Chains A and B, each alone.
Chain A
Amino acid sequence: MSRIQETFKRLASEGRKALIPFITAGDPAPEMTLPLMQALVAGGADIIELGVPFSDPMADGPTIQRASERALAAGMSMRKVLDIVRSFRASGDQTPVVLMGYANPIEAMGAEPFTRAAAEAGVDGVLVVDYPPEECRGFAQTCRAAGLDPVFLLAPTSTEQRYDDVAAVGSGYIYYVSLKGVTGSATLDLDEVAQRIPLIREKVGMPVGVGFGIRDGATAARIACLADAVVIGSRIIEEIEQSSREDAPAKVTAFLRGIREAMDNAGAPQA
């Protein structure tokens, strides 16, 4: 059983839902990422999604684009992202880490060298935004052979056929993009989420996380009642943007703790 699967199993036995924050590696500077990851754990993160910056982040809104640009300007690269994960593991932390990014930096390194290096560094899963199931059967196999969970997206526009396609290649969890649009968009349709999640969970047989558009504790709490995990990204990046480098880790912990409490206080999982 992978570390991601173990995490979901443990949370389920505790009647809690997973909190999955996202930050971009190297934003605002490479040396800030390890303390920020530790700050996320201190705030109650169960899994960390670590963004690998890319020059052309087509699926991201302005906030994560800016984070990506700052990280690249500060000299971030795939190998440095892996170095950061290695230091995170060396510090003794076992929180699962999922790398999230775009295909080209992986292809530039080569699928096999990448998965081998990622697994060796202590990465648990990989979510490649522009690798839909039909384009990455080989890559998904390479991931699993290296002990990494290939994580996939589903969207409100996805047909039920897509649920099967994703279930056939994915593992770990499914990331349900809760709205049409890019990351950091404003509105989220809770009714839609409520309707879709049980159906997806049944079809894919994996935990389902919900992200895109979750900006506060109230929304996170309501999502926690419906899904297995809450993913928060742009809102955390904004917190980092608005803080000085010294204050950023403490601010991130405080923000995430608020979300965590709201989720845990949302009560026992509902039927």
Chain B
Amino acid sequence: MVENELLSVKQLSVKLQNKVILLDTHLTLNFGDILGLVGPSGCGKTTLLNTIAGFNSPSTGELNIKRNNSSSTHLIVEEDVLTITPFKHVVPEHRNIGMIFQDYALFPHLSVEKNICFGINKLPKSEQKFRMTDLLNLLKLTGLEARFPHQLSGGQQQRVAIARALAPQPTLLLLDEPFSNIDARLRNELMLEMRQILKQLKMSAIFVTHNKDEVFTFADKIAVMHQGSILQIGRPADVCHSPNSWQVADFLQLGSWIPVKAINGQFQSAVGELPSTEDLFLKENMITYKGGPQKLQLLLKSQAIVYCEDGFEKNNVKVDNISITEHGFHYLLSSIDKDLSLSFEQLSFYSNCLFALGQKIAIKIKSHNYQVFNSYDDILG
């Protein structure tokens, strides 16, 4: 393993009840990083988390987990790096990994204090007390030690779950949909707070979510999963800027889709020909559409759309829906040109101009680094 690497997952496949859930997954995590696993439900992200935790065994592939011996509370000190293969399982309790469950899984029959000390009860009493006081302060839980889980609010329960997971000083923290039970209004605030705590402790973490806003707020690195494999992994900004497949762009809702045709090296759309740019065809996308006209999909962000207010251009879209947002009016536009192969609906467009419902307007597309994909039929399917 590379020195800075805490976890590496190589060619991992997992079968549950004879069904392949994970297929040939690769992943690495550096010390101190927070990785967000994101993807639609059923894509295998929770299975990946459970496999790292030790609740599932790999059917092929290998996991390497570095253990930070100095902080290990477990009596058994094995090698510095744990290697897990289909033939060599390491039980969860020996992995020095902490986990925060979606419903927190606090022990209902134990007080906050006993919940937090559950994993460190082999340590001397004074050390337990010390760590608990520390965590109570850090997580603003002081005064709640004697309460039982059902006497706490949702946010407090979550903080107890964090404290309990952190008490044994794990090398890696896993979080399964950590914010799904939190009130939408509080969610953002809590995410920032929790991120600060993890960063303060230099804690490495992997969390699972199906909410794209959560990954962008909470993660240093994101991995987008689809049907049992990781499609793209990288810094949020990079993934956002250049998604490597339509699934990634579609799941993260990075823009609207409009169909385009490639004719003689030019893109044709329902709102006119796309102005040429220097790197017109980006990366591997261009390889896939080579050869003759065919149906392609352009990922279009609102910033790349220009409203032609001078009246010289022919109206080419109709306003189907209007909503008001903090970024101005949000319109959903559909094409007027009913050329079936190019027509589109629900093109998202933000503007400060007020249009009427059903109004026909003219727009055009700015020259930019076009991102074109060719799998839209699958999206529709």
Chain B binds chain A: no
| A-binding residues in B (CB < 8 A) | none
